[in-house]
Structure 1
Amino acid sequence: MCLLLVSSAAFSQNYPVDHISPELLENADAVIRNYQRDVFIENIDEKKVITRRVVTVLNQAGERYVQAYEVYDKSDDIEEQELFVYDSNGQEIEHIKQKDFRDESAYASFILYSDNRVSYFDYMPRRYPYTVEYISETVTPNTIFIREWEPLEGYRVSTEKSTASIHYPEGISLRWKSRNLENYDIQVDSVGKELKFQAKNIASLQRETYTPSFSTFAPRISVSMNQFYLEGVEGEAQDWKQFGKWMYDNLVEGLDELPQSTVQKMTSLVADAQSEEEKIRRIYQFVQDNTRYIAVMYGIGGWKPFTAREVDDLGYGDCKALTNYTKALLKTQGIESYYTVIYGGNKRDIEPDFARMQGNHVILNVPRKDSADFWLECTSQKVPFDYMGDFTDDRFALLIKPEGGEIIKTKVYQPEDNLQAIDCKIQLAANGGFQANFTRTSRGVPYGEVFRMVDYTDKEVKEFYRDDWKKIQNIQFENYEFENDREQIVFTEKINFSGERLATSAGSRLLVPLNFIQQSSIASGSGKTRKLPMQISRGKSFQDHFEFTLPENFVVEALPESTEFEAEFGKFSISITAHDHSVIEVERHLQINQGDWPASKYQEFRKFINKVNHLNNLKAVIVEKTKT
């Protein structure tokens, strides 16, 4: 290892900033000068990783690409860790040794159990640009994890050179899967028991509006061992069926035993239930009423849950433990369910065509023969039965069954499912002010964005609306009430409020904006030439009914025309009518479709959105009657 460090320090003089190609500096916060990661699989339970990472940081935003740290636990050893810092001319200005690195828990204080730690150095630069060379060597018995190779690491970072190699012995075999390598200078070599990847001169990408997840279009290669080891447990798998079988046998099986008193409690709880669905609902509610979520990183690398008996006794657990507990409770009543590994948060799939350790969350699948499966989020005391929202919807997940793993797609909310509907009566005043009686219902994903408001304080409620309705001046709330229908999964807001200067004066006339609330301008992005594909990750629908009552002695002088149009991205309609010259009624419908489109379609999409935004800014003209 000493030879590696000496040669690295001597070679560092090749990294002055003016040696970077102008193409790599353009629109970049940092440049990866040389990232080399060598993985040595010595045995099924021994892995060594040697890392050398050289990054030129061009500004403060580029700091996130330094990544001078190692996450480890009690099974791992950090044998070497060192950092060199160079000025813009490539001259060494600082040398940080292993003893100077900070060491602390890798997770926040709210995690109850965890032996994961992080060793890092947070360098504070005197000026930009500067270059960091980070060197480390780690050893672990856990060979189930091999980090993906991602030669383009994110937005606004270029790569001068990135290499990775995996060396493995006889008796062990590897699988690898490449994605999005076309159009890049990337070389892949597999010779004997060595797999090697290399990339050169990849220019930065800029984030664009409506861009899909970075990993769906950026170059990357996944690698997995067919024979592996995790915290004392060996395994062998080449596909999801085998991998899921290993997970079931070693991480899930035998953890569902419950005290007889709890079994009897469940039997009594569902004794008069009229259907299996009602039984499942009652047991799910029992879990919500009697447990709470606490993060735990414990048991076979943090992947094995507490037993059901432990959760029953303690009354808490993490996503793994609470899911296993709910599964065990259902089993007492003969109801089958499956522990399901998934990525929670932004949409990300368990890759259906490449089996390896994936996921960051666990939920429960309850299969049904003649209708859609139930999906239970077991960590929340508030989320309704069978509600996924945008945390786990529309993505591939892994069912862990006794016979093996199975990839399944979770619930997809259609545009009509993600519905917000408004019914609002507005009394206009001659000075442009108004009094409004407002009702809004939210379903699907929008439900998840608002239902927790039932627990807000009065101050928090008013701050929410003032922030959401910034265009309304001097808003005053008379009263409000919320209804959270957990059975139908509908949230209703009813609000009476007033405001000033809704309508603007033009002589004796008032201009009344017909977009009273909601459907503010939808981002259409830049008109510049687009490079990246486009994605609308979820469809949604809006249905609005506004009824404007005019001030006394005012009549309608002019109304915009009603119109409707449709495109592959969605559809829009607005109907505007006057009644007795004293009431203006507006019916407005907007649907945005979910989908993926090539960059070449973006200008069509902008035209669609710009037309919607234009029609959302229509105004009626009302005028005071001439006095006689």
Structure 2
Amino acid sequence: MKKKLLLSVLLSITGVCGYAQGEYDVSKIPANLIENAAVVIRNEEMTYEVKGLGSARQDYKTAVTILNKKGEGASNMYEHYDKFSNVYNLKATLYDAKGIRIKEYRSSDFKDRSAVSGGTLYSDSRIKFLEFLYASFPYTIEYSYSVDYSGILNYPSWNPASSWAMAVEQSSYTFKIPRSFSFKQLNSKGLKPDSTSIKDVMQYRWSCAAVPALVHEPLSTGLKEVNPWVMLAPDQFEYDNSKANIENWKNLGSWLYQLSSGSQTLPPPAKLKVQELIKGAKSPKEKIKVLYRHLQENTRYVGVQLGIGGYTPIVAEKVSAVNYGDCKGLSNYMKAMLQEAGIKSDLVVIGNGLPSLNRKYASMNQANHMILCVPMEKDTTWLECTSNYDPTGFIGNDNSGRTVLLVTEDGGKLVETPVLSANSNYLKRSTKVNLNEEGNADIQIDTKYANAQYEDRIGLMLIEPVTQHKSIMNSLGVPNMEISSLKYTQPDKDIPLLNESITLKSSGLLTGGGGKLFIMLNLLNRQENNLIPIEKRKTSFAVKYGYLDEDEIIYTIPKGFKVEFVPKDIVIDSEFGKYTAKVVAKDNTLIYTRSKTIINKQYPAEKYNDYVAFQKKLHQADKQKSILAKIE
């Protein structure tokens, strides 16, 4: 009897283990989720319970199948923490393709390191992480952990299908909060929670299942248009002994203003320096330029993020003493210098490279940067205080055209930063090509880059000449070229304009035979043809920024040849932009002019193939050739 009972127990245990081992068998993933996927989220469960204004607990568990090498980036577990959070109950398991357990990991297997980046001097942020190493695809990793919070600024978001080539079998987010607390919510279209009330706690649960993987779509504005997501934010919180009500942007700005209040006092020597610098300035504009240049020449960016210090600027007196600071500290220091000069300014909270702040949803996690705004009677100057070379008033493409938060004594105010128009982001190039009958050429190229194109190019002026030459050799595309000289200049430090001058020699510019020579007219700035149509595209698209390119190339015809053929003028006009090209034969020259304007706005997915067709037309137009014939 005992033997039968023991056998029965053993069979039962074996059956349970066998089921557990096969739970993550890759063959169990539905075929439609395997398609286009490199990663499949098998099961994800996140629970976040708010216990007080400054306390909460999060429990997280997930199982992720890595189908191939392209998905390896999703195979590691990382969790950030600081002195206001504690990560514990760390567990992980590795499974092979059949769902058989390969290895188990305990808390001691997880590594712990500082989250400080190269540009950060002080930070209390750390990371618990585990890097899974397994050479045979596919495999599955399962891990879980808990976090206790003793300070709250934000509530976690939920974004289960966050990457291209990622599918989701099932995922859920459970959010618990006392009934007496209020919060705000944003979510993907049509997503609704299951809500229940348990005594004095409200519970909300969002879930999704069978979310297919999407193939990467060029120029996409993001997956949030098509995949499920939720963002939550508190209306009140407590963090590092500071309490705040952020039901709206005005309140959030008031809290930030209080954090920075009193931090703009300069030491006496710094005050004297400010007065010395501005004594010859004849207008507020001139004073701003002089002080901004002083900031750039005498300070450097260093990240400082300790507790509430991640949101409180370093006092101006400290920055003056050490000559460094983060974006908050440097902006606040500039504010202090302007204050000494009798000029009012406001700190600005902005999402650098992020979407505009949502006007109806005040939260701390929509911004990552601080700049300075100097309102004047007739215009406004915006200052990027972390840059050592940006012109006064130039804040870069990633900060332009954004809804931002002014931190004022009257609270937060939402305003818009200036928009960089396509015509202002220009490239203007003049090229002279002296040809001989062998197709060899002496070439002089002079180019002006403005605003966003200046920003993309200014780095070349700041690097070593050898690296400059390598970059030009790789980018110009002129056959068999040899650079004779290369020079970058910025004529006025207060204007975002870069001049580039290149002198070079080339061979093989002319092709043909039998007394005929062919010239590819657009020598330097041809449109690439790297986009292909996408049927049933899912996401909208946009270019990085709108711009205007204007090229003029003057070819001096080789002796003994005449112009036999010039192509017709081309005009391509579209909602995406405009292109014109023409060539004129004059005396012993061919003068080729080309203009291309690209409009920057967000286009719906169904217009993408029209955009591809537009780009293809430009590509074909840039292949125009003229024919030279030998004079008999």
Sort the TM-score into its range (normalised by shorter chain).
Answer: over 0.9
CA distance in 2, matches of 1:524, 1:396: 31
Q: Which residue is equivalent to 2:392?
A: 385
Give the structure-1-normalised TM-score.
0.94
Q: Which residue is equivalent to 1:603?
A: 609
Q: CA deviation at 1:567?
A: 1.1
Q: Which residue is equivalent to 1:340?
A: 348
Q: Which residue is equivalent to 2:59?
A: 50
CA distance in 1, matches of 2:440, 2:397: 37
Aligned residues: 611
Within the alignment, does 1:487 sit opposite 2:494 as a pair? yes
Q: CA deviation at 1:425?
A: 0.9
Q: Name the CA shift for 1:215/1:333 in 2 (closer, same or farther; >3 Å).
A: farther
Structure 1 SS opposite 2:57: strand
CA distance in 2, matches of 1:112, 1:31: 38
Give the structure-2-normalised TM-score.
0.93
Deviation per residue, 1:260-311 (Å, 9 max, x gap): 2222221222122111111111111111111111122224162222111100
CA distance in 1, matches of 2:339, 2:629: 70
Q: CA deviation at 1:112?
A: 1.1
Partner letter of residue 479 of structure 2? Q
Q: Which residue is equivalent to 1:3?
A: none
Structure 1 SS opposite 2:357: coil
Matches within 5 A, 1:134-533: 134-179=143-188, 181-182=189-190, 186-192=191-197, 193-215=202-224, 218-249=227-258, 251-300=259-308, 302-344=310-352, 346-358=353-365, 359-371=367-379, 373-469=380-476, 471-485=477-491, 486-521=493-528, 523-526=530-533, 528-533=535-540
**Contact 2:478/2:524 (8 A) holds in 1:** no
Partner letter of residue 120 of structure 1? F
Q: CA deviation at 1:205?
A: 1.5
Q: Name the CA shift for 1:312/1:306 in 2 (closer, same or farther; >3 Å).
A: same
**Contact 1:298/1:304 (8 A) holds in 2:** no
Q: Which residue is equivalent to 2:47?
A: 38
CA distance in 1, matches of 2:460, 2:625: 32
The list of structure 1 runs, each at least 4 consecutive aligned residues, that deviate by more than 6 angstroms after superposition, is: 7-10
Q: Which residue is equivalent to 2:598?
A: 592
**Contact 2:397/2:420 (8 A) holds in 1:** no
Q: CA deviation at 1:389?
A: 2.1
CA distance in 2, matches of 1:112, 1:570: 45
Q: Name the CA shift for 1:488/1:301 in 2 (closer, same or farther; >3 Å).
A: closer
Q: CA deviation at 1:217?
A: 5.1
Within the alignment, does 1:535 sit opposite 2:542 as a pair? yes
Q: Percent identity?
A: 27
CA distance in 2, matches of 1:80, 1:354: 34
Q: Name the CA shift for 1:126/1:573 in 2 (closer, same or farther; >3 Å).
A: closer
Q: CA deviation at 1:107?
A: 2.2
CA distance in 2, matches of 1:462, 1:468: 10
Q: CA deviation at 1:418?
A: 0.6
Which consecutive unaligned segments of at least 5 residues does structure 1 have? Answer: 1-6
More divergent stretch after superposition (258-267 vs 136-145):
258-267
**Contact 1:521/1:616 (8 A) holds in 2:** no
Q: CA deviation at 1:57?
A: 0.8
Q: CA deviation at 1:533?
A: 1.6
Q: Name the CA shift for 1:119/1:21 in 2 (closer, same or farther; >3 Å).
A: same
> Which of 12, 27, 32 is the matching residue for 2:36?
27
CA distance in 2, matches of 1:301, 1:293: 15
Q: Name the CA shift for 1:216/1:407 in 2 (closer, same or farther; >3 Å).
A: farther
Partner letter of residue 356 of structure 1? S
> Which of 600, 611, 619 is the matching residue for 2:625?
619
**Contact 2:289/2:494 (8 A) holds in 1:** no
**Contact 1:54/1:132 (8 A) holds in 2:** yes
CA distance in 2, matches of 1:266, 1:304: 24
**Contact 1:230/1:301 (8 A) holds in 2:** no
CA distance in 2, matches of 1:440, 1:253: 46
CA distance in 1, matches of 2:222, 2:283: 41
> Which of 572, 577, 581 is the matching residue for 1:570?
577
Within the alignment, does 1:117 sit opposite 2:126 as a pair? yes
CA distance in 2, matches of 1:322, 1:8: 59
**What is the root-mean-square deviation in Å for CA atoms of aligned residues?**
1.9
Which consecutive unaligned segments of at least 5 residues does structure 2 have? Answer: 1-15
CA distance in 1, matches of 2:153, 2:17: 30
More divergent stretch after superposition (266-275 vs 124-133):
266-275
**Contact 2:355/2:402 (8 A) holds in 1:** yes
